Amino acid sequence: MPELPEVEVVRAGLARHVARRTVTSVEVLDPRPLRRQDGGVQAFVDQLTGRTLTAVVRRGKFLWLPLDDGRALSAHLGMSGQLLVRGTAPAADSGPVHERVSGAALRTDPNALTGGRSVDLSVTEQPRYVRDLSTSPRHLRVRLHLSTYPGTDGGGGAVPDPGLDDGAVLDLVDQRMLGGLHVVDLVPTADGAPGGMGSPEPLLPADATHIARDLLDPALKRTGPDGVVSKVRASQRAIKTLLLDQGLVSGVGNIYADEGLWEAGVHGLRPGTALGPRVVARILETTAEVMRRALQAGGTSFDALYVDVEGASGFFARELRAYGRQGQDCRRCGTGMLREVLGGRSHTYCPRCQTRPRRSR
């Protein structure tokens, strides 16, 4: 399943290509991805048609596109869902990076064109899969037809004309049908801080209030009696299980949990109660740092299911130091990496760098 870096790559690309466009019409080719929509397919179509997508926001792995009527289009990618754009160009205020360079070159040095500032790779290369999409690609479930960008608002921002449709579309393509879309109300955040990355508004979808803030969210409270560190240390669950708990801290999945624990030198079976505050803080920071590095590489892609909005794959898989490396030498000490099942999920670790806790009798 896509984790925070992969969903953030999608969010950034959508923000470039579809934010501030108006939905001119909606095609539902398969109703199953709309199973969470109150009122069914017709309600989904009616509530989206004529609405402007004002932003694209992410909290952890959770993604939503606020609408101009105060509601939001909520999107969940599931195991194989893709949100793909076709027939668009980046918004007029998308920044100075528009030179035609290869994606491979930028992913080798993502900051090459910006003097050290990170760039959104979706604006630097022509689409690959999406450019050649037929009108009915395989596994296409829902298609949103979008307005064009006829001009600017005087301050450099693009202004969509709801009456113009230039062939731009946003597609939900999903092979396994575990993802979905639905229109939902927005509610205030409990702490008054922005709901997530991509918008300053203190709002989030009503069905996402149980999703904790993620490790890259500046509003995440890590220390203090109510912080993540204290909550981890109060639990007897294994630290890897705690990292995967989206109600504790969101955005971390199996890949980045293994990577963060390897970086911190901690075995995933160690219970939270056995870890000191500095160790927990180190685990959180190393996991966050791994995700930052993954973002620079466009996320982790193992096959064509994990792509950005233009169909481009991420390249962080080649930098993985733990996940999927069982039987290979540890990149730190050379010991053979091991794999075991922990709470129903695989856990890859170095038996020397990440000492396994003794089994209690």
What residues act catalytically? 2-3, 61, 345
**What is the C-alpha to C-alpha distance for residues 32 and 90, in angstroms, rounded to an integer?**
31
Residue in the block written with tokens 């969210």: 217
Phi/psi of residue 167, nearest 5 degrees: 90, 0
CA-based end-to-end distance of the chain: 36
Measured from the Cβ of residue 160, the count of other Cβ atoms closer than 10 Å reads 23
**What is the C-alpha to C-alpha distance for residues 141 and 171, in angstroms, rounded to an integer?**
8
- Residue of 61, 139, 125 whose CA lies nearest to 97: 125
**What is the C-alpha to C-alpha distance for residues 320 and 327, in angstroms, rounded to an integer?**
14
Helix (H, G, I), strand (E, B) or coil at 16: helix
Question: Which are the contacts of 224, defined by CB distance < 8 A and separation ≥ 6?
Answer: 230
DSSP letter for each residue of 77-109: -TTTEEEEEES----TTS-S------HHHHHHS
**Beta strand segments in 62-179, E:** 62-66, 71-76, 81-86, 140-152, 158-174
- CA distances from residue 331 to 201, 267, 335 in whole angstroms, order as listed: 42, 16, 8
**What is the C-alpha to C-alpha distance for residues 24 and 62, in angstroms, rounded to an integer?**
25
What DSSP character marks residue 319? G
Phi/psi of residue 156, nearest 5 degrees: 95, -10
Question: Which are the contacts of 314, defined by CB distance < 8 A and separation ≥ 6?
Answer: 5, 6, 9, 294, 297, 298, 299, 300, 301, 306, 307, 308
